[in-house]
């Protein structure tokens, strides 16, 4: 066996295809790499409680969630960096002052207002209209998160905020107005029109969490592979020895990675694992 490596995999657009399905080749790649002695971690912007069952069932050595605010390795918690309560209140005030829809993530769940839940329901209706009524509930888009009521959220446990805007420059404006303290990146939700973004604390990224996990494991960043397709993956590319963009990533994202694999629909994870020797082709 080659020397053990560690892979960090984004979920939406990397493991999950448009929030709907997981390719058999991706499951084979992850399970095969682990069987060969390599480590594989989830590395997602999702809350731990919002990771689809089909993804969790593959089996991983740990997970970075909420864009880097939390990280686990086996049964151990390596990172737990919630947003300060007053910082959460600042972003809530920002959203409300500008009439933006938003939801808040704790590690356990997504908390949303009735208006946001209605938006998600409309997204689901549009998907069902385009694809026909699903035969089983799990065939519906898993990119639409299950939510709890916003009034139930514990402001001392918020890890990340997500906002939805009608204008294409909503994210750029938030970056200008909140960038002094917050890490603001474009989101990856498949919304028709407008834009969506993610907000965490400055310095809290997938990259910072990966560094903590590598320190915990006693592994060098040179043996780390990071695979993703979204803007919250940039710091992952920067800290991993090899940053790999999915073929379905934007051209700007591909330019920031060390290399590009095929798309999520064309066995992207499998092909990347074969290329780097985590599984045999």
Phi first, then psi: what are they for 190, rounded to 5°? -80, 70
- Calculate ∠ Cα 127-130-134, nearest 5°: 65
- What was the pLDDT predicted at 134? 45
Domain ranges of the chain: 6-81+204-275, 85-201
The third-level CATH classification (topology) of the domain covering 85-201 is 3.30.1240
The pLDDT confidence band at residue 81, using thresholds 50, 70 and 90, is very high
pLDDT, one tens digit per residue, over 19-32 is: 678 999 999 999 99
Mean pLDDT of all residues in 119-144 = 54
Average pLDDT score over the chain:
90
Phi first, then psi: what are they for 164, rounded to 5°? -125, 130
Q: Which two tokens stand for residue 182?
A: 């917050």
Q: Which residues contact 11 (CB under 8 A, 6 or more apart)?
A: 42, 44, 45, 46, 51, 52, 55
Residue 100 has pLDDT above 90, yes or no: yes
Mean pLDDT of all residues in 113-137 = 63
Options 3.90.1150.10, 3.90.1170.50, 3.40.50.1000, 3.40.50.720; CATH of 6-81+204-275: 3.40.50.1000
Distance of CA 123 to the CA centre of its chain: 19
The pLDDT confidence band at residue 216, using thresholds 50, 70 and 90, is very high
Handedness of CA 2, 217, 205, 109 (dihedral sign): positive
* Lowest-confidence segment of 47-51, 54-58, 83-87, 117-121 by average pLDDT: 117-121
Indicate the DSSP class of residue 150.
G
- What was the pLDDT predicted at 16? 92
- What was the pLDDT predicted at 222? 97
Q: How far apart are CA 52 and CA 162, in angstroms?
A: 18
Mean pLDDT of all residues in 107-117 = 89
Q: Which two tokens stand for residue 216?
A: 């915990």
Query: Where is pLDDT greater, at 197 or 126?
Result: 197
- Calculate ∠ Cα 1-243-159, nearest 5°: 110
CA distances from 223 to 2, 4, 87, 142, 242 (A): 11, 8, 35, 31, 8
Query: Where is pLDDT greater, at 84 or 121?
Result: 84
- What was the pLDDT predicted at 167? 84
Query: Where is pLDDT greater, at 76 or 167?
Result: 76
pTM of the complete model? 0.90
């Amino acid at each position: 066996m080659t020397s053990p490596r560690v892979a960090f995999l984004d979920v939406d657009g990397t493991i999950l295809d448009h929030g709907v399905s997981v390719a058999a080749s991706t499951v084979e790649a992850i399970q095969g790499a682990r069987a060969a002695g390599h480590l594989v971690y989830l590395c997602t912007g999702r809350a731990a409680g919002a990771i689809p069952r089909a993804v969790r069932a593959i089996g991983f050595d740990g997970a970075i969630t909420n864009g880097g605010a939390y990280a686990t390795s086996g049964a151990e918690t390596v990172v737990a960096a919630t947003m300060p309560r007053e910082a959460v209140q600042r972003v809530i005030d920002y959203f409300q002052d500008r009439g933006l829809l938003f939801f808040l993530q704790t590690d356990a769940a997504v908390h949303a207002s009735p208006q946001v839940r209605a938006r998600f329901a409309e997204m689901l209706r549009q998907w069902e209209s385009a694809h026909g009524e699903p035969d089983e509930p799990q065939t519906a888009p898993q990119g639409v998160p299950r939510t709890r009521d916003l009034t139930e959220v514990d402001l001392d446990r918020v890890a990340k905020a997500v906002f939805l805007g009608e204008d294409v420059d909503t994210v750029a404006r938030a970056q200008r107005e909140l960038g002094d303290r917050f890490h603001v990146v474009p989101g990856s939700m498949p919304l028709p029109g407008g834009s969506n973004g993610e907000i965490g604390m400055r310095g809290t990224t997938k990259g910072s969490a990966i560094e903590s996990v590598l320190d915990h494991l006693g592994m060098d960043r040179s043996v780390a592979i990071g695979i993703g397709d979204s803007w919250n993956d940039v710091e992952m590319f920067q800290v991993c020895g090899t940053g790999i963009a999915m073929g379905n990533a934007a051209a700007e994202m591909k330019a920031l990675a060390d290399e590009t694999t095929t798309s999520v629909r064309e066995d992207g994870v499998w092909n990347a694992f074969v290329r780097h020797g985590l599984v045999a082709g």
